[in-house]
Amino acid sequence: MHKSRLGALVIDCRTEDLAEATAFWTGALGYDVAPGEPDPDDRYVSLAGPGGEVKIILQKVDHDSRVHLDIESDDIDAEVERLVGLGATEVARIKGWVVLEAPSGHRFCVVKPQRADFAANANPHA
């Protein structure tokens, strides 16, 4: 058995200036930049919103700007297999996560648990 749930909403930003995108999204959402270690690649910024809400991440990308979901799982391979069984297609494996595409054409990622309350609030799958 493994568990999974919606882990993060990722705002993909095609930009050379992630700080500018961060200023916009923190202002638009009323969030702050989450405390933590700076990203050595300058590609990711986590935002800090109210407790219990889904995590929001800004990601600097080379493809068109879009929004995608991260599904967190304690067994990435089992979750990918489950989602492929539902009709998803595997697109790529990158740095420990897997990019999938839904039958609707939407891309999303399966990642390791990202939020502290994962074990208590994730959905079990046989």
What is the length of the chain?
A: 126
52-81 pLDDT, tens digit each: 788 899 999 999 999 999 999 999 999 999
Identify the CA nearest to 88 among candidates 74, 75, 71, 65.
71
Residue 117 near residue 72, CB atoms below 8 Å? no
Indicate if the pLDDT at residue 5 is higher than 80.
Answer: yes
pLDDT the model gives residue 7: 92
Instruction: Give me the chain's average pLDDT, please.
Output: 92
pLDDT the model gives residue 54: 86
pLDDT the model gives residue 53: 83
Indicate if the pLDDT at residue 9 is higher than 90.
Answer: yes
Other beta carbons within 10 angstroms of residue 16's beta carbon come to: 8
pLDDT the model gives residue 41: 81
- Segment (H or E) for 33: strand 32-33
